[in-house]
Amino acid sequence: MLRLTVVAVGKIRGTPYEALLQDYLRRFTSPITVIEVDERKALSPLQLRQREGELLTEKIPAASYAVALDPRGKIFSSENLATFVQQRQDDGTRDMVFILGGADGLSDDIVARTQLRLSLGAMIWPHLLARVMLVEQLYRAQQILAGHPYHRG
């Protein structure tokens, strides 16, 4: 079974997004983990992006198929995302990790080590909301693959 991991910058606890994220995580029938990293040092945007990249790298499961969320990445429909996830599982992938940066995006080192750059669309979303949106789409992909009607709503 494919294990999904979301590694993201920023703490969602105590935000308006926390309950929504937890609701989607409870619905999953397949393994999914959300790992957060947080850097609170006063750094320039470039230094912060680099430091966040180091923290994210430490949390990426070894030998995982890595997907970077990037506004310049590939755009999938929900059905295409479900097919993509199923293809990785069929190819023998055991772990797939989705990596979300902070407000300044992902470091070049992180993007370079990923197999796919994925976009949630042309609009820029707050990174905590993007995390919820990604988890919802992964849940939706699970439901599409199971033939459940959730995905039509």
User: How many Å apart are CA 106 and CA 38, to the nearest integer?
Assistant: 13
Residues of the chain by 3-state class (helix, strand, coil), percent to 5: 45, 25, 35
pLDDT at 52 (0 to 100): 93
- 2, 32, 81 from 68: Cα distances, Å: 18, 17, 14
pLDDT at 153 (0 to 100): 55
Domains of the chain: 3-148 (3.40.1280.10)
The distance from CA 104 to its chain's CA centroid, rounded to whole angstroms, is: 16
pLDDT tens string for the chain (153 positions)? Answer: 899 999 999 999 999 999 999 999 999 998 999 999 987 778 888 899 999 999 999 999 889 999 999 999 999 999 999 999 999 999 999 999 999 998 888 999 999 999 999 999 998 888 899 999 999 999 999 999 999 887 565
Name the CA dihedral angle for 80, 81, 82, 84, rounded to a multiple of 10 degrees. Answer: 90
